[in-house]
């Protein structure tokens, strides 16, 4: 008897779904070449069995400022155990593919540290790690496609049993299609219990059965909020529309701290939901349950997802993002099988191919076409609902830094939100789903908004901790909460000083919360110089030469350094593009000047500050 065929293990850690998508693509491409593949999330894999695996492909994303996905954290803790030794993985061959954004300072940090740790534990690399970049003209797939071809060749060199017909012989995409992962059961309305028709706890029911859950998140909202204020902060002439929103609790009150984050589940336009259901020839009144198809458990859908039936319309509107998120490449491949018009089939097959990758990126991601728009562009396609449930991007809650303090604003939650709107390369206006929906709400509507609270990257500081806050634009949001809270604390006990650096384009049109900040700079108040603090502004477009917050930090170098020497913590919030790294550079210069040390010494000094929990960044794209 010959040696049995090899099986490839693909482990992924995904926060938004991109790493899962890439992992499934690697698995599909391996199977098209005759190699079976298991695709498992790192939080569902028994890490103790890792030394017994022969070949493992890791697909991991990096979020924010070098953070790992939630599903990776427990797995990573196991790998860091000191007792494992440098031969623990000596029989294992591995390859790492990372997904990141080179606009961030810690680009693909998780993939890089995983690659090093696996090597330290004795594992042998199959090929050099691949680093997918959101900034690439074709997104991460621009790196993934050639990296996979190298992977197949390297695996074949190691053992031809992986690909019995060779690494280059693949079943053509237009000749094979998988079964969908999920099955839909339809229930007769008259046989359902009356309380099911009342649709109580409907959000929990819908999101509890949605296969779009990337991590084991809570399905049931922590509570519901109701808007009490919708105020435009920017003035006429501004290029932005920034709003101040206030909410009160509808039912239970949730305890939160300054620096925390709240996630809101946005509502999709009802007419778009109706159009999607009609386009897909679905019965909006039908009741469904969703469960895994009976297949070998690959780890990605091995649990019974559903319990109670839910109306199809509610399931779509609460779990499937049909109006704002762009579908992934595999969606076009599956669509091609259901296209009855030949010209549509050919175009979809081209989009799904390696040759059509760039054109697909320009048509789909760059234009941010929604699932509904794509389906309307290919009218001959009629995809079964099972495939749509699997492939339509999940509707995700949107996260915002809380801009209030529970001490200063009891029973309230405040948010500072930039209303997102942009023009695509083909001159189409696109709007952010959540921000534009919030902007459209009024207190009179009394809309109940489902929300979840969680810790962000900015831990609540004790009142005795001196603070250096940097929050240009809407980055000022969490620091409004910090300063409001410390002002209340100062009424009854001593508090440490705060230096706050704020920036925007124009003083007259974009100076968010101007009265609030200035009121706290008055003599003896929280941001006053007499109290050892200060408020410093950079209006980048109010003079010929642009001035940013990092320039103001350099101007105040002596005071910044003195406060750091007094034990101050640095908090930075705002845009993730260049700002966080510009702040690091400015502080490195200050440390270098004040200590007489080199840039490398200054860099290490700041890294030590970060390790001590005194350098915290919350950035968003």
- CA end-to-end distance (rounded Å), the chain: 56
Side-chain-facing half-sphere of 314: CA atoms under 13 Å: 23
How many other β-carbons are positioned within 10 Å of the β-carbon of residue 122? Answer: 16
Q: Per the annotation, does 432 bind a ligand?
A: yes
Cα-based distances in Å from 303 to 14, 71, 211, 293, 574: 19, 17, 10, 10, 39
Q: Per the annotation, does 368 bind a ligand?
A: yes
Q: What are phi and psi of 199, to 5 degrees?
A: 60, 40
Q: Per the annotation, does 398 bind a ligand?
A: yes
Q: Per the annotation, does 61 bind a ligand?
A: yes
Q: Per the annotation, does 63 bind a ligand?
A: yes
Q: How far apart are CA 272 and CA 255, in angstroms?
A: 36
Q: Per the annotation, does 474 bind a ligand?
A: yes
Q: Per the annotation, does 546 bind a ligand?
A: yes
Q: Per the annotation, does 495 bind a ligand?
A: no
How many other β-carbons are positioned within 10 Å of the β-carbon of residue 425? Answer: 8
Q: Per the annotation, does 48 bind a ligand?
A: no
Q: Per the annotation, does 358 bind a ligand?
A: no
Q: Per the annotation, does 43 bind a ligand?
A: no
Q: Per the annotation, does 541 bind a ligand?
A: yes
Q: 235 — alpha (psi -120 to 50), left (phi > 0) or beta?
A: beta
Q: Per the annotation, does 452 bind a ligand?
A: no
Q: Per the annotation, does 226 bind a ligand?
A: no
Please state whether beta strands 467-470 and 498-504 pair in parallel, antiparallel, or not at all (unpaired): parallel
Q: How far apart are CA 250 and CA 441, in angstroms?
A: 16
Q: Per the annotation, does 464 bind a ligand?
A: no
How many other β-carbons are positioned within 10 Å of the β-carbon of residue 386? Answer: 16
Cα-based distances in Å from 237 to 241, 420, 506: 10, 17, 10
Q: Per the annotation, does 509 bind a ligand?
A: no
Q: Per the annotation, does 153 bind a ligand?
A: no
Q: Per the annotation, does 295 bind a ligand?
A: no
Q: What are phi and psi of 315, to 5 degrees?
A: -60, -45
Q: Per the annotation, does 550 bind a ligand?
A: yes
Q: How far apart are CA 249 and CA 449, in angstroms?
A: 10
Q: How far apart are CA 9 and CA 126, in angstroms?
A: 13
Q: Per the annotation, does 14 bind a ligand?
A: yes
Q: Per the annotation, does 210 bind a ligand?
A: no
Query: 180: which DSSP letter?
Result: P
DSSP string, 67-115: BPPGGGHHHHHHHT-GGG-TTTTTT-EEEEEEEE-TTSTTTTHHHHHHH
Q: Per the annotation, does 139 bind a ligand?
A: no
Q: Per the annotation, does 505 bind a ligand?
A: no
Q: How far apart are CA 7 and CA 582, in angstroms?
A: 46
Please state whether beta strands 242-249 and 448-454 pair in parallel, antiparallel, or not at all (unpaired): unpaired
- The answer to whether the CB of 288 falls within 8 A of the CB of 189 is no
C-alpha torsion 74→79→83→86, nearest 10: 180
Q: Per the annotation, does 272 bind a ligand?
A: no
- The answer to whether the CB of 329 falls within 8 A of the CB of 353 is no
Q: Per the annotation, does 16 bind a ligand?
A: yes
Q: Per the annotation, does 578 bind a ligand?
A: no
- Coil/strand/helix, residue 513: coil
Q: Per the annotation, does 447 bind a ligand?
A: no
Nearest to 144 by CA among 304, 295, 12, 298: 12
Q: Per the annotation, does 4 bind a ligand?
A: no
Binding-site residues for FAD sit at: 368, 398-401, 432-435, 620
Binding-site residues for FMN sit at: 14-19, 61-64, 134
Binding-site residues sit at: 14-19, 61-64, 134, 368, 398-401, 432-435, 474, 540-541, 546-550, 582, 620
Binding-site residues for NADP(+) sit at: 474, 540-541, 546-550, 582
């Amino acid at each position: 008897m010959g040696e049995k065929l090899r099986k490839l293990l693909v482990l992924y850690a995904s926060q938004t779904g991109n790493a899962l998508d890439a992992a499934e693509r690697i698995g599909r491409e391996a199977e098209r070449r005759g190699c079976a593949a298991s695709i498992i999330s790192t939080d569902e894999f028994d890490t103790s069995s890792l030394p017994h695996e022969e070949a493992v492909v890791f697909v991991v994303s990096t979020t924010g400022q070098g953070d790992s996905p939630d599903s990776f954290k427990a797995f990573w803790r196991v790998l860091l155990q000191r007792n494992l030794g440098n031969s623990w993985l000596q029989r294992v061959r591995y390859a790492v593919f990372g997904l990141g954004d080179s606009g961030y300072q810690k680009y693909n940090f998780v993939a890089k540290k995983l690659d090093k740790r696996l090597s330290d534990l004795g594992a042998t690399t199959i090929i050099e790690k691949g680093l997918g970049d959101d900034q690439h003209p074709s997104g991460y797939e621009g790196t993934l496609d050639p990296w996979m071809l190298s992977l197949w060749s390297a695996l074949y060199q190691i053992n031809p049993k992986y690909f019995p017909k060779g690494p280059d012989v693949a079943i053509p995409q237009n000749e094979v299609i998988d079964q969908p992962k999920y099955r839909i059961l339809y229930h007769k309305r008259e046989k359902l219990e009356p309380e099911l028709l009342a649709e109580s706890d409907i959000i929990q029911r819908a999101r509890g059965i949605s296969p779009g859950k990337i991590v084991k998140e809570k399905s049931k909202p922590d509570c519901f909020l109701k808007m009490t204020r919708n105020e435009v902060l920017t003035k006429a002439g501004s290029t932005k529309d920034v709003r101040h929103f206030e909410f009160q609790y509808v039912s239970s009150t949730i305890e939160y701290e300054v620096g925390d984050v709240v996630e809101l589940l946005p509502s999709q336009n009802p007419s778009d939901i109706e159009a999607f259901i009609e386009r897909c020839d679905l019965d909006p009144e039908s009741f469904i349950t969703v469960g895994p198809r009976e297949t070998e458990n690959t780890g990605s859908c091995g649990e019974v997802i559903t319990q109670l039936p839910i109306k199809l319309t509610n399931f779509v509107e609460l779990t499937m993002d049909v109006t704002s998120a762009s579908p992934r490449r595999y969606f076009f491949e599956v669509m091609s099988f259901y296209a009855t018009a030949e010209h549509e089939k050919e175009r979809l097959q081209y989009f799904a191919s390696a040759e059509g990758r760039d054109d697909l990126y320009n048509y789909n991601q760059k234009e941010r076409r929604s699932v509904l728009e794509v389906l309307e562009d290919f009218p001959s396609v009629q995809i079964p609902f099972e495939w749509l449930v699997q492939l339509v991007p999940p509707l995700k809650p949107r996260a915002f830094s809380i801009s209030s303090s529970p001490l200063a604003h009891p029973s309230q939650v405040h948010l500072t939100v930039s209303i997102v709107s942009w023009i695509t390369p083909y001159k189409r206006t696109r709007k952010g789903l959540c921000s534009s929906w919030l902007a459209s709400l009024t207190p009179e509507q009394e809309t109940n908004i489902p929300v979840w609270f969680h810790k962000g990257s900015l831990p609540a500081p004790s009142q005795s901790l001196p603070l250096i806050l940097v929050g240009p634009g809407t980055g000022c949001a969490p620091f409004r909460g910090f300063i409001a809270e410390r002002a209340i604390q100062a009424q009854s006990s001593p508090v440490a000083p705060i230096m706050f650096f704020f920036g925007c384009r124009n003083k007259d049109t974009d100076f968010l919360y101007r009265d609030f900040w200035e009121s706290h700079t008055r003599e003896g108040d929280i941001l006053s110089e007499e109290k050892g603090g200060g408020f410093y502004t950079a209006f980048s477009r109010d003079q010929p030469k642009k001035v940013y917050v990092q320039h103001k930090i350099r101007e105040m170098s002596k005071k910044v350094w003195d406060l750091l020497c007094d034990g101050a913590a640095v908090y930075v919030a705002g845009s993730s593009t260049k700002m966080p790294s510009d702040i690091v550079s400015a502080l490195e210069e200050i440390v270098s000047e004040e200590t007489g040390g080199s840039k490398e010494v200054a860099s290490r000094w700041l890294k030590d500050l970060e390790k001590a929990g005194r350098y915290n960044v919350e950035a968003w794209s």
